[in-house]
Amino acid sequence: MMAQAVPHQTTPDKKRVKVYELRNNDWFDRGTGFCTAGYVQSEDGSKEARVIVESEDQPIRLLLETRIVKDDGFQKQQDTLIVWTDNGVDMALSFQEADGCALIWKFIDSIQQTFHGMNGPPDDGLSDDLGIDMPTTIQLPNPELGILAELESNMRIMSSSPSGRDALAKAIIGDDYINKLLPLVEMAEDLESLPDLHKLCNIMKVILLLNDTGIIEHAVSDDCVLGVVGALEYDPDFPSHKANHRQWLSGQGRYKEVVKIDDEQIRRKIHQTYRLQYLKDVVLARILDDPTFSVLNSLIFFNQVDIVSHLQSNGGFLHDLFGIFVEPNEPQLRKKEAVLFIQQCCAIAKNLQPPARQSLYNNFLAHGLLRVINYGLRNFDVTVRVGATDIMVSMIDHDPQMIRHTIYRQIQENTQPLTDTLIDLLLVEVDLGIRSQVSDALKVLLDATPPGGPPEVRELIVGRGRAQQPIDPQQEGFLDHFYEHSAVRLFKPLLDLERRDEIKFNVLNDGVFSYLNDILCFYIRSHQNRSKFFVMQHNLAQRFNQLLSCKEKHLQLVAIRFFRQLVLLQDEFYIKHLAEKNILGPVLDVLLRTMPRDNLLSSACLDLFVLINKENIKDLIKHLVENYREKVMALSYMETFREILARYDQTQGYTASADAYFLESEDEMGRKPSNSARGMMEHLNVDPVQEEYWNTSDDEEDVARGLEQGSMTNGTPRPLVEYTSSDEEADEAGGDTLMTAAPASDEAKENKEPAATPSPPAATPPDRVSEKRRREEDEDDALDKLVTHKRRNSAASTSNHSHTAALRKKKSFGGRDAGSHTTKKISISLSPSVAKNAVTAVKAVGEVEESK
């Protein structure tokens, strides 16, 4: 059950307010609503003092509901701001009207006074929350030089506890104690009493570190600020040094009013904000604690919000401000100050919430902000160029699509777009910081990625079976105009290399090539077809290739970095472009020239070839070996180049794997190999004598006669075909020969080589016809598998009958006689890997047959 408000005990009117929460040192806007403060009955029946803010858009939703307890430390800042800490989180209420803030603060202050025991509790529900350690009222003595030591000691003791800090802060504000201390600073300086000045500095530090917004605002007021910083100039931690804070804050020309601000309150806030920043960043930078730092940041932030809100809503002020750049007779100094003023406004806008920042930029653009940027980027003063670049980068960081729309409108109006101004500045700028920012701006503005957040959460349109990013017509038109008119202008330093015989640059001009390389690589990744046509049309790869002939090594590295980016894309277009333009040859020359020295240039060149080898980019490997084989051989002592040579030699320059080579023939099912296999067969060496043998038909009578004469030798039958050991021949030939079927020649019979010819079987009695035929068929099958699984061979016949010889002829090689007296040796030249695989297969078949 939610807590219910007690109607007769709440504030009578709801006050409009904005709720802020401090997150990571940045104030987050939680929304706008209506604030009430009063006693609310909780679930247990007790009553609690609470501040409640209901949402303006959704009244049933609560933006804030916080209890007013002792340790929250509610504080009122200025006239419309209340800050406190709720469960360790800094919160703030910014009221629209000062009367509403005063009414809410009156209730909160009364509750806090109750906690400190100054008033009785309103009811029994708050009696348990009363503080136990309640301080007594503090009465500070009148400040004099003689009691400064005692006063400093007492203040340090009181500031060591929360209750003492509160009591001391109230005493200082109630007695206007700061103004009483300031005359002592001048008195001690007149007396040149350094110990007293050191004590005054410590007292002022204790007062400022009480973390009270009222004290800090009073310390930076016009009446007190010089005296306060004057006391802080004499820091006892640096007794021999004196700061010059008063001289800086009172110096002439610190505040420049480009356009008169009529609102006196806004002017006072501008001065106060500057002093607060100086106090935080310079005077108290060493001794600031977290609470005081948070209070100073809060005061600065809310002042800046008020200042920017007033300026952007003041149409007359904006008209006068941007009108400075329309009037040609305006002094250059006033235009410079106007650019710096707008730069400060954009820097303040970085801390605002996105809606407020968007409103500020829209108002600036409507009044002619791009005219200011164009003026600043073309100015001779580096301070003005830095300011204009900072303005542009701030807007691009906030919303680049907004700038693209503005540039597209400039194109439609036939005026010079902002991109051309950035290009001109990039080519002539010598400041590296500005050059880097302009380069990043050109990449962001020309990013082809559609708006709407990161790529992973963008809406994708599914078409043709794949996801496609939505196309923005306006962005497409913007890119078309850029490549038609601005791209040549941007890459002009590269294009001009074509007409130069000697590549030499001065120190101011050679740095632009690195930025152009980064921009071009980004465009290649983002713009796809447009960038391909641009690279091909202007032969940019050859232009980068010219940089390899420079003496400056950083320019050679720029070229190698560009080539590596093209290889990394693994796009067929860029791979062929690199090969056609012979880009890798000069890179090899650079590597050969620098390889004895291990430096960045040689490492970059080697990394390029390592990438080609690792990704196995076959077109570039073939291009390297066929055109620069001698150079690659000279570098073959490195593993990368040995692998490149091995890849090429294995494939003989073809992209297919060497393992794909095989003989073209019909298999047992009568199927033909693929077209690619037949194409590879054309590259095998064919012996014309073997072809003539296989294409010649044998006479049956010659076959029978040869069988009768060759079936017996010295009364011992011998096989018609003798097969050499495949393993031994493969080892002797280095793996180039798959298998050899050779006859038993006379020389072999005389030498009786057991390794090459198996031992003939012993003579046996004649068998029955059925057993004989079955054994012959088994021998036929075994021989078919041993020779090849593409051709069928027959076994030797030991019969002397012509009818048996005729049957054997029909079963062998489609009618060709395998048992002729004049047998031939079949030799097929294959690559090592294919031969090794074939020998392994034959051995496996033989082992299977032996097992059977």
Range 485-514 burial, b when 16+ CB lie within 10 A, else e = ebbeebbeebeebeeeeeeebeeeebbbbb
Phi/psi of residue 539, nearest 5 degrees: 50, 50
Mean pLDDT (the chain, rounded): 74
* pLDDT score, position 2: 36
Rounded mean pLDDT, 221-239: 90
Task: Name which of 121-130, 144-153, 317-326, 430-439 the model is least confident about.
Answer: 121-130
Phi/psi of residue 722, nearest 5 degrees: -105, 130
- Find which of 156-165, 172-181, 764-773 is predicted with most confidence, using mean pLDDT: 172-181
Give the per-residue SS3 of 175-190.
CCHHHHHHHHHHHHHH
Give the pairing type, strands 81-86 and 712-713: unpaired
Q: Where would I find the H helices in 638-683?
A: 639-651, 675-681
Assess whether pLDDT exceeds 50 at residue 746. Answer: no
Assess whether pLDDT exceeds 70 at residue 172. Answer: yes
Mapped onto helix, strand or coil, the DSSP state of residue 52 is strand
Helices 194-208 + 177-191 axis angle, to 10: 160
Assess whether pLDDT exceeds 50 at residue 253. Answer: yes
Torsion of CA 800, 802, 803, 807, to 10 degrees: 90
- 311-315 long-range CB contacts below 8 Å, 24 or more apart? 311/266, 311/345, 312/359, 312/360, 312/363, 312/364
Read off the pLDDT of residues 786-841 as tens digits, 9 standing for 90 and up: 544 444 443 333 333 444 444 444 444 444 443 444 444 444 445 555 455 555 65
* pLDDT score, position 522: 93
Structural tokens at position 11: 């504030």
Cα–Cα distance for residue pair 769/387, rounded to 1 Å: 111
Give the pairing type, strands 722-723 and 461-463: unpaired
User: Residue 673: CB partners within 8 Å, gap ≥ 6?
Assistant: 662, 664, 665
Cα–Cα distance for residue pair 528/471, rounded to 1 Å: 14
The overall longest dimension of the chain from CA atoms, in Å, is 147
**E strands of 754-793, at which residues?**
none
Rounded mean pLDDT, 127-135: 40
- CA 724 to chain centroid: 64
User: Residue 171: CB partners within 8 Å, gap ≥ 6?
Assistant: 137, 138, 139, 140, 177
**539: region left, alpha or beta (phi > 0 left; psi from -120 to 50 alpha):** left
- Identify the residue whose tokens are 């030939």: 733
Q: Where would I find the H helices in 252-289?
A: 264-278
- Break the chain down into helix, strand, coil percent, rounded to 5: 60, 10, 35
* pLDDT score, position 809: 43
Mapped onto helix, strand or coil, the DSSP state of residue 395 is helix
Q: Residue 85 burial (CB < 10 Å; 0-12/13-18/19+)?
A: middle
Cα–Cα distance for residue pair 22/294, rounded to 1 Å: 9
- Identify the residue whose tokens are 């031969």: 835
Of the two residues 849 and 250, the one the predictor is more confident about is: 250
Residue closest to 517 by CA, chosen among 496, 493, 482: 493
Which residue intervals of the chain bear CATH 2.30.29.30? Answer: 4-129
* pLDDT score, position 157: 85
Cα–Cα distance for residue pair 740/722, rounded to 1 Å: 10
Rounded mean pLDDT, 717-726: 45
Alpha-carbon torsion 455, 456, 461, 465, what sign?
positive
Q: Which pLDDT band holds residue 732 (cuts at 50, 70, 90)? A: very low
Residue closest to 208 by CA, chosen among 147, 290, 288: 288
* pLDDT score, position 608: 93
Read off the pLDDT of residues 62-106 as tens digits, 9 standing for 90 and up: 888 888 876 667 888 877 888 888 877 888 888 888 878 888 888
* pLDDT score, position 13: 64
Read off the pLDDT of residues 386-412 as tens digits, 9 standing for 90 and up: 999 999 999 888 888 888 888 888 888
Cα–Cα distance for residue pair 301/21, rounded to 1 Å: 12
Structural tokens at position 30: 């939680």
Phi/psi of residue 453, nearest 5 degrees: 115, -175
Question: Do you know the residue count of the chain?
Answer: 852
User: Residue 204: CB partners within 8 Å, gap ≥ 6?
Assistant: 181, 228, 231, 232
Contact present, 720 and 823 (Cβ < 8 Å): yes
Read off the pLDDT of residues 259-312 as tens digits, 9 standing for 90 and up: 888 888 888 899 999 999 999 999 998 888 888 898 999 999 889 888 888 888
Assess whether pLDDT exceeds 70 at residue 542. Answer: yes
Contact present, 841 and 835 (Cβ < 8 Å): no
Q: Which pLDDT band holds residue 651 (cuts at 50, 70, 90)? A: confident
Rounded to 5°, the CA angle 182-183-187 comes to 125
User: Does an H or E element contain 810, and which?
Assistant: helix 802-811
**734: region left, alpha or beta (phi > 0 left; psi from -120 to 50 alpha):** left
Q: Which one-letter amino acid corresponds to residue 5?
A: A
Cα–Cα distance for residue pair 15/604, rounded to 1 Å: 68
Q: Residue 114 burial (CB < 10 Å; 0-12/13-18/19+)?
A: buried
Q: Which pLDDT band holds residue 450 (cuts at 50, 70, 90)? A: low
* pLDDT score, position 606: 92
Q: Which one-letter amino acid corresponds to residue 404?
A: R
- Find which of 244-253, 440-449, 627-636, 687-696 is predicted with most confidence, using mean pLDDT: 627-636
* pLDDT score, position 228: 92
* pLDDT score, position 109: 79
Please say whether the structural domain 4-129 has been given the CATH code 2.30.29.30.
yes
Assess whether pLDDT exceeds 70 at residue 698. Answer: no
Phi/psi of residue 737, nearest 5 degrees: -115, 130
Cα–Cα distance for residue pair 398/837, rounded to 1 Å: 65
**CB-CB neighbours of 734 under 10 Å:** 9
Phi/psi of residue 643, nearest 5 degrees: -70, -35
Contact present, 3 and 40 (Cβ < 8 Å): yes
* pLDDT score, position 488: 92
Q: Which pLDDT band holds residue 378 (cuts at 50, 70, 90)? A: confident
**CB-CB neighbours of 241 under 10 Å:** 9
Cα–Cα distance for residue pair 595/12, rounded to 1 Å: 87
